[in-house]
Amino acid sequence: MASERIDEDVSRGGGFAREVVEIVKTVGLALLIALVLRVAIFEPYTIPSSSMEPGLVTGDYIVVSKWPYGWSRASFPFNPPLFSGRFLGRSPARGDVIVFRLPRDTNEVYIKRLIGLPGDRVQVKAGEVFVNGKPIPRQRIGLAEDHDAPGRIVPRVVETAPSGKRYVTFGGSADGEGDNTDIYVVPQGTYFFMGDNRDNSLDSRWPKEVGVGFVPAENLIGRAEVVMWSWREGSSLLKPWTWLKLDFSRFFERVR
C-alpha cells in the first residue's frame, strides 16, 4: 500500500511538471508569434500630441503597417544594431502618414506626413508648402475648433499630394513660426516631414538638434493605416476607471 501511494505521488508530481512545461511552451510560442507580427506586419501606437490634427488627435490608438517600405533595424523594438539599410525597401509616397524614429534619439517615435523625397526642394512661404517650386494644391473649407484646445479656431485646408491623395490640414498662418522658411534640399537617403497641424508641429522645418530635421530612410517604421479606437482627454491605460471614456465617432477611421 505504501509503495502504491509513493508511485501515485510521483506520477502526480510528474504530471504537474509536464503541465508547467506545456504552459511555458504555449506562452513562449504566443510571445514569439506576437513579436513576429509586431516586427513584420503590424504595430499599434497611441497618438500623444495634437501635431497631426485634424486627421489624428490625442488619444487615438492607431495601427501601423510594416511591409509597405520594407524592414530596417527601426522595425524591431529598441532599434537593435542588427543590420544597416532596409530589407526589401520601397520608396514611400508623398502624402503618406509615417511613423519613424527620431534622428537625434531613436528611442523616441514620431508620426508626421511625408512632404519631401530625396532630392526634392521644399519651402514654406506664407504658410503655403512648395515642392520643387510648385505649391501643393490646397483649398480652404472653412474654420474649425482645435480638438485639443477648445476655443482655438483654425482654418481647415484640403491639400492634394502629387499622388492624388487628399487630406485635411489645419492651415498655417501667413507669418507664424515655420510659415516662412528657406529652401530645404532633401539629401539622398532621407525624407522631409511636416505635421498636419502646421502651426503646432515640431518637424523637419527645424534642424534635428531641436526638431526633426531630415529623417534617414532606415528610421522609417511603417505607414499609419487606421484608428482602431480613441480615448478622450483624461483617459489612461494606467487608470482603469477611465477606460470607458471613449470617442466612438473615431473608431475604425482610416488615416488619410
So which residues are the catalytic ones? 51, 112
C-alpha angle 96-77-97 in degrees, rounded to nearest 5 = 10
Cα distance between residue 84 and residue 22, in whole Å: 38
Q: Are 101 and 74 in contact (CB under 8 A)?
A: yes
DSSP H or E stretch at residue 119:
none
Cα distance between residue 61 and residue 112, in whole Å: 15
**DSSP bridge partners of 160:** 166
DSSP H or E stretch at residue 156:
strand 153-160
Residue carrying C-alpha cell 508626421:
112
Cα distance between residue 208 and residue 119, in whole Å: 18
